[in-house]
Amino acid sequence: MHILPAIDLYGKKAVRLLKGDYNNMTVYSDTPETVAADFKNQGASFIHIVDLEGARDGTTPNIDVVKNIIKSSSLFAEVGGGVRSVECIEKYIEAGARRVILGTAAVTDKVFLRDAVSRFGDKIAVGVDVKDSFVAIKGWTENSGVECFDFCREIANIGVKTVICTDISRDGAMRGANIEMYRRLSESFSLNIIASGGVSTLNDVRRLKEMNIYGAIIGKAYYTGAFLLRDAIAEAEKK
């Protein structure tokens, strides 16, 4: 299983939200590049980057920071937040992203999603952000009315290979991962599922690995020192 430490960007800083609430934001670093350097020093091969302003507004205000993070760290980067056009996908790929995450647009514009998968193949991932069993959009501020499992079935049929599934109620709350949801997803679909939201102990990592989940995102647990990133990576890579 892959461990993907996360950097959420807002105002060119590394921040964390509590349960997706923009009014409940903690700034952890004014220099996200140094955070990425520490990820690498602790043995990370991957990085998960989200432009929170982009997610909310459909823009790319932090693209220069994204580019600097990828260039300075040379980690395999997946990037999301406000990706709603082919031009935006191309911009992130040119910035060095190896995978680009579609969120709102994957829910609201299936023509765009199909076109993106056709053009870019497995460089496209979809963020499935779940609140009360439904997919949330526009930086988690709106309920799409689309049920999580129905949506996963639809995008799998379109050809999406990788899904970043976040339980919003647990994101940043240090309550543990929603193990049952990830178990059901892994049993229902042959997608590369990346678990996000609430991964707060090494036992969470262990249990996700046992389910053959493709990856787990480590966010607040890293920033608060709940465990060492290197220990999570070692746990995930155990034979």
The residue annotated as part of the active site, out of 8, 51, 171, 204, is 8
The residue annotated as part of the active site, out of 38, 64, 115, 129, is 129
Q: Active-site residue 21, yes or no?
A: no
Compute the distance between CA of residue 73 and CA of residue 62 in angstroms, rounded to an integer: 17
Q: Find the CATH number of the domain harbouring 16.
A: 3.20.20.70
User: What rounded mean pLDDT belongs to the chain?
Assistant: 93
With bands split at pLDDT 50, 70 and 90, how would you rate the model's confidence at 170? low
Q: Spell out the long-range contacts of 221-226 with Cβ–Cβ below 8 A and sequence spacing 24 or more.
A: 221/174, 222/5, 222/6, 223/16, 223/26, 223/28, 224/174, 226/174, 226/200, 226/201
Given a cut of 60, is residue 173 above it in pLDDT? no
Tally the domains of the chain: 1
Quick one: CA dihedral 169, 65, 76, 135, positive or negative?
positive
pLDDT digits (tens, 9 = 90+) for 96-127: 999 999 998 999 999 999 999 999 999 999 99
* Residue 183: per-residue pLDDT: 95
With bands split at pLDDT 50, 70 and 90, how would you rate the model's confidence at 56? confident
Q: Active-site residue 129, yes or no?
A: yes
Region 2-28: what's the mean pLDDT? 91
Domain of residue 196, residue span: 2-237
* Residue 104: per-residue pLDDT: 87
Given a cut of 90, is residue 140 above it in pLDDT? no
